[in-house]
């Protein structure tokens, strides 16, 4: 397909706590855009503080999609996100506005813009397989699950972190239900993409994460998690496996002190940020902007100018 015939799409990606939100709001104002969140925690209703969801006031000014779209009792996969985001992009474009994908869940971004093809799966079979895989992990250790995955889907085994139980489960579930590994290659993209990654030096990012976790505790993350558990949300659900929620749920069950909980959230978030940066470095189309070197206002001007000159070119 000729690039000029494709739907323009702006991507603003980056590690957690890098500062994507304020910049994305400013760019959306300048470009008459609407935002599609790409955050695997923000899709769940009730997970507000620990996922740093944008305020209702800001959502009222700039329409946001991809937030509060799933029940925390359910699962939400990369295929679910791809399907949802495609519909959101069409809806935004139908308003005559620019779709802007903002977030740090790199696989979801790639599946969307590279047009991954997912095999259809029977929901009941998938649910039974997920329960079975989690039982293996909980009763026999997740190293067993990883060993199984390494034999049937080496690419997913190499890419998925050992503690990322949800993605390990998903990868093995897909293979057992379809006989095929998770898709890694897409088809021709329907989008003309401008892909930007916002970054900072790791030392600066580590400090920002520490401050963010402190702010989350002050705002009431423990109370939020207790409320979710009281609603009957399984502590092993996908929603409560998100960083910040898993550690706080363990604290709620007496498996960690408050000090251990906070320390683990900071450590795991920092580890996740490193994995995000590693992922985005593999995206050949992405351009990087270091927020420690370039003033945020300058970043906004650079991206807005580039979008006008290259993304919004006439068909």
Residue 21 known to bind ligand: yes
Strands (E), 219-296: 287-290
Q: Is 257 annotated as a binding residue?
A: no
Q: Determine the Cα–Cα distance for residues 311 and 304; give it in Å rounded to an integer.
A: 10
Q: Is 206 within 8 Å of 183 (Cβ atoms)?
A: no
Phi, psi of 123 (to 5 degrees): -60, -40
To the question of whether residue 17 is assigned a binding role by annotation, the answer is yes
* C-alpha torsion 66→68→74→78, nearest 10: 10
Kind and range of the H or E element at 138? Answer: helix 123-140
Q: Is 15 annotated as a binding residue?
A: yes
Closest CA relative to residue 36, chosen from 80, 114, 89:
89
- Rg over alpha carbons for the chain, rounded to the nearest Å, is 20
Determine if residue 248 is labeled as part of a ligand binding site: no
**Could you give the CA distance from residue 66 to residue 81 in angstroms, rounded to a whole number?**
8
Sign of CA dihedral 42, 40, 190, 120: negative
What residues have CB less than 8 Å from 168, skipping those under 6 apart? 133, 137, 142, 145, 146, 149, 160
Known binding residues are: 14-21
Known binding residues for ATP are: 14-21
Known binding residues for substrate are: 16-21
């Amino acid at each position: 397909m000729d690039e000029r015939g494709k739907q323009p799409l702006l991507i603003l990606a980056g590690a957690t706590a890098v500062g994507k939100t304020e910049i994305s709001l400013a760019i959306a104002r300048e470009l008459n855009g609407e935002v599609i969140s790409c955050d695997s925690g923000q899709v769940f209703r009730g997970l507000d503080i620990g996922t740093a969801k944008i305020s209702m006031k800001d959502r009222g000014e700039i329409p946001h999609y991809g937030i509060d779209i799933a029940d925390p009792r359910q699962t939400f996969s990369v295929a679910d996100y791809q399907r949802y985001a495609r519909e959101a992009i069409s809806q935004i474009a139908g308003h005559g506005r620019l779709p802007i994908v903002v977030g740090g869940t790199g696989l979801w971004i790639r599946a969307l813009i590279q047009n991954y093809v997912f095999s259809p799966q029977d929901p009941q079979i998938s649910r039974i397989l997920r329960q079975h895989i989690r039982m293996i992990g909980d009763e026999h250790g997740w190293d067993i699950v990883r060993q199984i995955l390494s034999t049937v889907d080496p690419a997913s085994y190499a890419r998925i972190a050992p503690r990322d139980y949800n993605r390990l489960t998903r990868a093995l579930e897909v293979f057992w239900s379809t006989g095929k590994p998770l898709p890694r290659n897409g088809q021709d993209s329907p989008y003309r993409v401008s892909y930007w990654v916002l970054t900072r030096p790791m030392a600066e990012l580590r400090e920002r994460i520490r401050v963010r976790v402190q702010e989350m505790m002050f705002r009431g993350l423990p109370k939020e998690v207790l409320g979710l558990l009281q609603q009957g949300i399984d502590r092993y659900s996908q929603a409560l496996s998100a960083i910040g929620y898993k550690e706080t749920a363990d604290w709620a069950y007496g498996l960690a002190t408050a000090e251990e909980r906070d320390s683990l959230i900071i450590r795991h978030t920092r580890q996740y940020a490193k994995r995000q940066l590693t992922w985005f470095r593999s995206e050949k189309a992405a351009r990087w902007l270091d927020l420690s070197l370039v003033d945020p206002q300058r970043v906004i001007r650079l991206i807005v100018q580039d979008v006008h000159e290259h993304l919004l070119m006439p068909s």
